[in-house]
Amino acid sequence: MRRQISAPDYNLEDKNNELVASPPGGAGAAHEEAPRPPPPPAPRNGTSSKQGGLTIVRRSSSRGKTESSPPTDEQLDQLDLETEHLPAVDTPDACDKAALRLRYLLRQLNRGEIAVETLQNNLQYAAKVLEAVYIDETKITRHAEQPRVQPTTLHMRRLRTPCWARCSVEKPNEAKRLADEDDELSEVQPDAVPPEVREWLASTFTRQLATAKRKSDEKPKFRSVAHAIRAGIFVDRIYRRVTSTALMQFPQDVVRVLKTLDEWSFDVFALHEASLGSPIKYLGYDLLNRYGMIHKFKVQPTTLENFLSRIEEGYCKFHNPYHNNLHAADVAQTVHYMLCQTGLMNWLSDLEIFATLVAAIVHDFEHTGTTNNFHVMSGSDTALLYNDRAVLENHHISAAFRLLRDEENNILQNLSRDEFREFRTLVIDMVLATDMSFHFQQLKNMRSLLTLAEPSVDKSKAVSLVLHCCDISHPAKRWDLHHRWTMSLLDEFFLQGDKERELGLPFSPLCDRNNTLVAESQIGFIDFIVEPSMTVCADMLEYILGPLHSSTKTSTSTVKQDSINEESAGAETNTKFKIKKPWVACLMDNKKIWKEQATKDAEDRAKLEEEENGPPPTQPDE
Ligand code: AMP
Ligand code: ZN
C-alpha cells in the first residue's frame, strides 16, 4: 500500500503536527533494505564509486551556472523521482541530482501530496550523497621533516546529539527560520547540524576562513555551502521525523547518568542502578547512536534493542561478580573515552568504529566466571572445542556472532558482504587480543614498532591494543570505582578457588581466599601490567594522531581542546601532540592507597602471628 502524506500532516513549522503516516512496513522501515545484499558489480545508487577512498564532491554546476538560481518549475515538473538508476553517491553528478530532488520534495511538501516511499527513497539518497562528501586532507602540505603516517582518511567527526537529548535541541520554527534567513553561515547553530554535515562544514568552511582574504567574486561559493548545510539540516530533520518514533526511550535516571558518559571516571555502577540492571542496553544504544552507526549502517532500532538485550542476558547467565554486563558496559565506555577524547575516532573509518564499539560490548559475552586456565585444567567442553587456545575469547566471539544469525538480533543485516567480512575480522582480532596470555607479546610488538623511523601502525593492531588497555583499565580509574572492581574480581577468583578445591585442582593465582595478598597483588598488577600498557597505548595514540592534529590545527578540531596538552618543543611551530592522560594521576593515587594498605596488612599479619605463636625469637647478637 502506498501511503500519502498530505501537507497539513507534514508541517515543519508546527512541532505538534508530527508526521502521522508510518512508513510502509511500520516504524523504522526507513532503514529497511534487503538483508545483506551481495556487493554490486559497479557503483550504483546508494553506493560509493570506490571503497574507503577520499573524494571531494563538488557540484558540477558550480562553475557553469550561478548557484543561487534554483531549478525552475518546468525543470522540476520533468523530474523523474525513481531512485534505482541514480549515479554513485560520491560523484559530482550525484550532488546535482540530490539537490534537484530536495527542491522537488520541498515543493511537493508545500503543495500537498507526496508518497511516503518516494520521500524516503529520495531522502535516503540525498542523505547518502551528503555523507559521501569528504575533504581530501591528504593533500595538505606537511612539514617536510615530519614523519608521515600511512595515508589516512581525515574525517573530523562530531558525535551526534544523544537521542535522549534531541527533543530539547529541536526548535519548532527552525525549518521556517532556515527557509527565510539570510545567507549567513554564522547563523547555523552547530548543534542543529547533523554530524555528517558538520564534518563537512568544519573542514570546508573553516579552511576557507583560514585562507587569505576572500575575493568578492567568491561569494557564491560561500553561499553554496550555506545552501548545502541547510539541505543537510532539512534532510536530517525529515529523516529523524520519519524514524524517530521507533527510537528507544531512555528513563530519566539513565539520561542523568549518561550525561557524564564522556568522562574518564564515568560511574558505570550508577548507570547499572539507574537502568535497573540493564547498563549495556542503554549505554550500547547511546554509543552506537552518538557515533552515527545506527544511521550509517541502517540498524533498525528494535533490532539493536534486541541484540543488546540478548548480549546483556548472556553476561548475566552465570551471575559472575566481575565478568558481567557491568564490566562490558565499563569497557565499552572506556573505549568511547579513547575514541572521542583522544581523537582516535578521526583516524578510523565508520566501520572500524562500529566494530570497535561492538567488540567492546561483546568481548566477554557469556563469560563463565572462571579463567582459561580453569577451563583447560578442568577439561571443560569449551576447552575441548577450542583446543585449549584462547578458550573464553573464542567462545565470546563465536557466541556473539551466533546471536547475530537470528534476523531479529542481526544489527549487521544491512552491511554489504565486504563490510560484513571486514567487521567480522576486526571483531575477531580485537576480542582474541583481550586474551591476557597475549599481553606481553602485544606490548612488545607495539613498543618496538614505535621505535622505527617511520612506523606504519596497523589499524586492527591499534584498536586491539586500545580494547585490551580498556579491559584492564579499572586500576587507572578513580579509587572508589577501582576498589569496587577489585573486590568483585577477587570474589570471582575466590569462587573459582572454591571450585578448584572441590575438584582437587591446584589453586590458580589469586584464587585461594585464605592465602591471597590483595594489596600487593594490586600494586604488582598496576606496576607490571596496567601502567606499561597505558604508556604504550598513549605513545601509540600520540604517534598516530599527531599528524592529524597538526594538519587541522587551524581548522575547527572535533577533539575537545581541553583534552589536548601540547608541549612546546621549540620556539617555532614544532610542537609535539600529547593526549590528556587522566589515568596517570589515578594510577599514582591508587598505588599509594594500596601501598598504605599493604603496610597495614603486613602489620596485621605480624600481630596475628604473634598472638598465635608468641613473639618472634630475638636475634642472638641483640
Ligand atoms: P578480561 O577477563 O577480558 O576482563 O581480561 C582482564 C583480565 O585482567 C582479567 O581476567 C584478570 O585476569 C586481569 N585483571 C583485571 N583486573 C585485575 C586486578 N585488579 N587484579 C588482577 N588481575 C586483574
Ligand atoms: Zn573483560
Query: Between these two residues, 167 and 114, which has the higher pLDDT value?
Result: 114
Note the pLDDT of residue 18. 28
Confidence tier at 524 by pLDDT (50, 70, 90): very high
DSSP assignment of 151-194 equals: P-------PPPPGGGHHHH--TTHHHHHHHS-S-GGGS-GGGS-
Whole-angstrom Cα distance, residue 590 to residue 510? 19
Note the pLDDT of residue 71. 78
Ligand 1 atom at shortest distance from the alpha carbon of 331: 4
pLDDT tens figures, 1-23:
333 332 322 222 333 322 222 33
Ligand 1 atom at shortest distance from the alpha carbon of 327: 4
Does residue 320 carry a pLDDT above 80? Answer: yes
pLDDT tens figures, 353-392:
999 999 999 999 999 999 999 999 999 999 999 999 999 9
Note the pLDDT of residue 240. 60
Note the pLDDT of residue 283. 98
Pocket test of ligand 1: the residue of 325, 371, 393, 436 to mutate, having most ligand atoms within 8 Å of its CB, is 436
Does residue 327 carry a pLDDT above 60? Answer: yes
Lowest average pLDDT, out of 30-34, 70-74, 173-177, 503-507, goes to: 30-34
| Secondary structure tally for the chain: helices H, strands E | 26, 4
DSSP state of 203: I
Whole-angstrom Cα distance, residue 105 to residue 238? 11
Note the pLDDT of residue 69. 65
- When pLDDT is averaged across residues 435-445 and rounded to a whole number, the result is 98
252-556+575-602, CATH topology level: Catalytic domain of cyclic nucleotide phosphodiesterase 4b2b (1.10.1300)
User: Pick from 364, 360, 295: which is nearest to 332 by CA?
Assistant: 360
Note the pLDDT of residue 540. 98
- So where are the chain's domains? 7-56, 67-243, 252-556+575-602
What percent of the chain clears pLDDT 90, i.e. is strictly above it? 53
Whole-angstrom Cα distance, residue 236 to residue 3? 21
Whole-angstrom Cα distance, residue 448 to residue 439? 14
Q: Is residue 327 flagged as an active site residue?
A: no
Whole-angstrom Cα distance, residue 175 to residue 179? 6
pLDDT tens figures, 202-252:
443 333 333 333 344 444 455 566 676 777 777 666 656 555 546 799 999
Lowest average pLDDT, out of 125-129, 320-324, 417-421, 461-465, goes to: 125-129
Whole-angstrom Cα distance, residue 164 to residue 167? 7
Distance 317 CA to ligand 1 centre (A): 19
Note the pLDDT of residue 552. 65
Whole-angstrom Cα distance, residue 191 to residue 169? 7
Lowest average pLDDT, out of 41-50, 444-453, 597-606, goes to: 41-50
> Which of 58-72, 174-188, 286-300 is modeled with the greatest confidence?
286-300
Torsion of CA 208, 97, 83, 85, to 10 degrees: -110
Which runs of consecutive H residues, i.e. helices, occur in 342-458? 350-362, 372-378, 381-385, 391-403, 417-432, 439-450
How high is the mean pLDDT of the chain?
Answer: 78
- When pLDDT is averaged across residues 577-600 and rounded to a whole number, the result is 98
Residue 279 grid coordinates: 547498563
Distance 513 CA to ligand 2 centre (A): 22
Residue 541 grid coordinates: 595514540
> Which of 73-82, 131-140, 150-159, 421-430 is modeled with the greatest confidence?
421-430
Note the pLDDT of residue 621. 60
Pocket of ligand 1 (CB under 6 A): 364, 434, 436, 471-472, 475, 486, 489, 521-522, 525
Whole-angstrom Cα distance, residue 347 to residue 282? 26
- When pLDDT is averaged across residues 106-134 and rounded to a whole number, the result is 79
- In the set 227, 295, 323, 468, the catalytic residue is 323
Does residue 508 carry a pLDDT above 70? Answer: yes
pLDDT tens figures, 255-269:
999 999 999 999 999
Does residue 461 carry a pLDDT above 50? Answer: yes
Does residue 397 carry a pLDDT above 60? Answer: yes
Residue 83 grid coordinates: 531512485
Residue 416 grid coordinates: 554489504
